Amino acid sequence: MRVGIGYDSHRFDPSRRLLLGGIEIADEPGLAGHSDADAVAHAVTDAILGAAGLGDIGMHFSPDDDRWRDADSIELLREATAHLGESNFQVVNVDVSVICERPRLAPHVTAMRGRLAEALGIAPANVSVKGKSNESMGWIGRGEGIAVIAVALVDRVP
């Protein structure tokens, strides 16, 4: 078994829609980024790739490559999961912490867990998503953006 850690952060961009964990959250500013800027999916992608020793999201889906402009990050996660399979790894579980002052995540957690689980090929019970405040400190506390930390456990395919 191997463990990987992923991190992502994005500034808010009111001209975009907000996607987190593959779920659109209405009435909130979106996030700036090359793809759809789903910071949850990005952090999970980095965590699973890192755990399997397969680099990071930028190696596989470079922000310098226009093929990934406005890309669906859940599809990128699905593709990264396929790379794991090709390397004889499978995802066991992931744990995600979303650090933000807004939006309130609790109403969306079940749907996010389902979308992430489907892309990872695991049961929703093996995906944890939780929101954490930054207690009004720093750039997150000022409401400038969102940061996400993800941990993934992968294992060799038997």
pLDDT value of position 48:
98
Binned at pLDDT 50, 70 and 90, residue 129 comes out as: very high
pLDDT value of position 131:
96
**Taking a C-beta distance cutoff of 8 angstroms, is the pair 81, 119 a contact?**
yes
The predicted model gives 115-135 an average pLDDT of: 97
Binned at pLDDT 50, 70 and 90, residue 154 comes out as: very high
Q: Which domain holds residue 81?
A: 2-156
**Taking a C-beta distance cutoff of 8 angstroms, is the pair 48, 120 a contact?**
yes
Give Cα 74 distance to the centre of its chain.
8
Binned at pLDDT 50, 70 and 90, residue 1 comes out as: very high
11: pLDDT strictly greater than 80: yes
Q: What DSSP state is assigned to residue 107?
A: G
Bond from prior residue into 103 cis (ω within 30 degrees of 0): yes
- The owner of tokens 């992931």 is 94
- Which two tokens mark 142? 């000022």
Q: How far is CA 4 from CA 37, 87, 94, 143, in A?
A: 21, 15, 9, 28
Q: How many domains does the chain have?
A: 1
Find the helix or strand (DSSP H, E) in which 2 lies: strand 2-13
> Measured on CA atoms in the order 74, 151, 33, 142, is the torsion positive or negative?
positive
Q: Return the closest-CA partner of residue 28 out of 131, 120, 116.
A: 131
pLDDT digits (tens, 9 = 90+) for 82-113: 999 999 999 999 999 999 999 999 999 999 99
pLDDT value of position 61:
83
pLDDT value of position 158:
80
Question: Looking at residue 54, which CATH number applies to its domain?
Answer: 3.30.1330.50
pLDDT digits (tens, 9 = 90+) for 70-85: 889 999 999 999 999 9
Whole-structure pTM value? 0.95
**Taking a C-beta distance cutoff of 8 angstroms, is the pair 141, 3 a contact?**
no
- Which two tokens mark 145? 């953006």
pLDDT value of position 10:
96
pLDDT value of position 117:
98
**Taking a C-beta distance cutoff of 8 angstroms, is the pair 22, 115 a contact?**
yes
pLDDT value of position 70:
81
